[in-house]
Amino acid sequence: MGEEIKTDLVLAENQWIETERLILRPVTLADTEDVYEYASDEVTTRFLFPANQSLAETRANIATSFIKDPLGKYGIELKKSGKLIGTTDIRVNDHNGTAEIGYALNSAYWGNGYMPEATAALLKLGFEQLDLVRIFATHDVRNSNSERIMEKLHMKKEGLISDAERRNGEVVSLVIRGITRSEWLALQQTENS
């Protein structure tokens, strides 16, 4: 079985992931109002993408970004209320055994540990089931909230990419952070002993 086929199968088998407080699941058009709530909030979107201007724009973005190609992409739902509070994804590169994770969280839910909980589940999926060697993420140098999430995941700073890209009409520099399979396994042993 080719690596890409195996990856697709593992991701298809893991479209629903449950954590202590969250359900990671496919995003659907029924989530439009919850997604619009944070996708239209400039505090939430400042370092990510231009704020959505309408429910129609959010519906179109859900169709294009989540429904068209759903594998590895998750809505983050609170178990207690069923409210979708953000999204996260894992983008696997089968050729080199790595993946990049990304995320967005409604600013009304910042500071509760939801994003580290959600992304830790993706690290587990990546290292235990996808047999990845490294998982990484990037954040705008000014985004200290994202930096703290990556630190909680024990992702080490690997570098700075100056003037990396244009986001929301400005040139931004990005920090890249990563964790290897061996580092992650060592952390699991420490936490379980």
> What local confidence, expressed as pLDDT, does residue 3 receive?
66
| Predicted local distance difference test score (pLDDT) of residue 168 | 75
Whole-angstrom Cα distance, residue 95 to residue 22? Answer: 31
Q: Cα-atom radius of gyration of the chain, to the nearest Å?
A: 16
**Which pLDDT score is estimated for 18?**
97
pLDDT for 41 equals 81
Q: pLDDT at position 109, please? A: 95
Rounded to whole angstroms, the Cα distance separating 115 from 111 reads 9
Q: Give me the pLDDT at residue 5, please.
A: 64
**Positions in the chain whose pLDDT score sits under 50:** none
Tokens standing for residue 152: 């909680």
Report pLDDT for 148: 93
Cα–Cα distances in Å, from 34 out to 31, 89, 160, 177?
5, 17, 33, 29
Residue 118 burial (10 A CB sphere; 0-12, 13-18, 19+): buried
Please identify which residue in the block is written with the tokens 């086929």: 5
pTM as predicted: 0.91
